[in-house]
Structure 1
């Protein structure tokens, strides 16, 4: 059986990354630096031929994918389940502001990262389930193909953790960086990390 190759890319830098705030559902654009990061990745991956390009539906991911691949937007598969965690009322706030405005929820989230959740937001396990549901369904239909996935840090950490262990416990062992790409190869259900943050 031929291997499936996944190129995992975190969207490039955004205007909100520069502010160092929490944001998941907020649809913000790439920063000038983010556009440059994407163009550099385009050059690094210019010789790769992707059968499929998959993206979160948010602008920062779609724009990263468009710059890197030169695909038309209608040719990119957009999965709602590959969105970042919904941070609810914490969107646009830094951790100091969150701790001051929502101390109880912040404390619970720090103590129980799987089940605690941002105020009026989403908890990790709900995000984990939606990402894995779509990932497993999608992988059944792209065996043997080379696929580019552009998504968010949290989503990519879930994908990597699941591919290697079939659970969430490696989540914090990954740090997908902006402006870099990683390569995971899957053959007969076994996943190997070929490259990380290149």
Structure 2
């Protein structure tokens, strides 16, 4: 049996609704987000899980908790799975950032691998810290199903890194809706993407919400 990593983006927050920049801000799930987390747990509780790794933020912990409660497994918190640090952009809309930090914003849009948000992190830095967690999982669980609950930018950057996609293009090549699951299988030929951004576990009224 091969190792399969299930990357789950946290469920809905007010920022996933509005599109504002939220990295270090430790926000809660919305009521819809809570229901998304419950729906994921109901759909995936019967999968034999080897481990659950979680970013230590309120929104990711709350997303993982229903499944952990269902199956009686403790989550393993790792700072390497945190979202990108947006620095001075935290809590602001894209338009506010464009007006206040125009040059930095253009550079970040053009090449986020090496250009950070003002006072924030580059995609290269995120890939470096998140890859340490992936390596740890591979060493500790050479086979089985491991859930990784993280964030929009972080998961996209990890997937680009695993699949040989330029991490500077993570925003242009991969989408990652709230509460979506992406699956990567590790076998003799390396990482194989089996599923990307799937939300079929959500009921229609949650899956079709705008802005998530």
The answer to whether the superposition gives a TM-score over 0.5 is yes
2:127 is matched with: 128
Q: Give the Cα separation in 1 of the matches to 2:48 and 2:141.
A: 14
Q: Is the 8 A contact 2:5 2:147 kept in 1?
A: yes
1:46 is matched with: 45
Q: Give the Cα separation in 2 of the matches to 1:47 and 1:72.
A: 8
Q: Give the Cα separation in 1 of the matches to 2:72 and 2:168.
A: 34
- In the TM superposition, residue 38 of structure 1 has moved relative to its aligned partner by 1.0
Q: Give the Cα separation in 2 of the matches to 1:100 and 1:32.
A: 32
Q: Give the Cα separation in 2 of the matches to 1:41 and 1:89.
A: 33
Higher alpha-carbon deviation: 44-53 or 73-82: 73-82
**Residue 182 of structure 1 aligns to a residue in which SS?**
strand
Give the ranges of 4+ consecutive aligned residues of structure 1 lying more than 4 Å apart after TM superposition. 71-74
TM-score by length of 2: 0.84
Q: Is the 8 A contact 1:66 1:73 kept in 2?
A: no
Q: Return closer, same or farther for 1:166/1:136 CA change in 2, 3 Å cut-off.
A: farther
Structure 2 unaligned runs (5+)? 200-212
- In the TM superposition, residue 9 of structure 1 has moved relative to its aligned partner by 0.5
- In the TM superposition, residue 125 of structure 1 has moved relative to its aligned partner by 1.4
- State yes or no: 1:178 paired with 2:161: no
Higher alpha-carbon deviation: 162-171 or 3-12: 162-171
CA RMSD of aligned residues (A): 2.1
Q: Is the 8 A contact 1:66 1:72 kept in 2?
A: no
Q: Give the Cα separation in 2 of the matches to 1:72 and 1:78.
A: 17
Aligned residues: 197
TM-score by length of 1: 0.90
Structure 1 unaligned runs (5+)? none
Q: Give the Cα separation in 2 of the matches to 1:12 and 1:28.
A: 11
Q: Give the Cα separation in 2 of the matches to 1:29 and 1:20.
A: 15
1:110 is matched with: 109
Residues 126-159 of structure 1: CA deviation (Å, up to 9, x unaligned): 1121111332233122101210110001111122
1:56 is matched with: 55
Higher alpha-carbon deviation: 31-40 or 12-21: 12-21
Q: Is the 8 A contact 2:123 2:167 kept in 1?
A: no
- In the TM superposition, residue 69 of structure 1 has moved relative to its aligned partner by 3.1
Higher alpha-carbon deviation: 30-39 or 10-19: 10-19
- In the TM superposition, residue 41 of structure 1 has moved relative to its aligned partner by 1.0
Q: Return closer, same or farther for 1:146/1:175 CA change in 2, 3 Å cut-off.
A: same
Higher alpha-carbon deviation: 162-171 or 81-90: 162-171
Residues 35-81 of structure 1: CA deviation (Å, up to 9, x unaligned): 11111111211211211000001110011000233269992111101
2:145 is matched with: 146
Q: Return closer, same or farther for 1:76/1:129 CA change in 2, 3 Å cut-off.
A: same
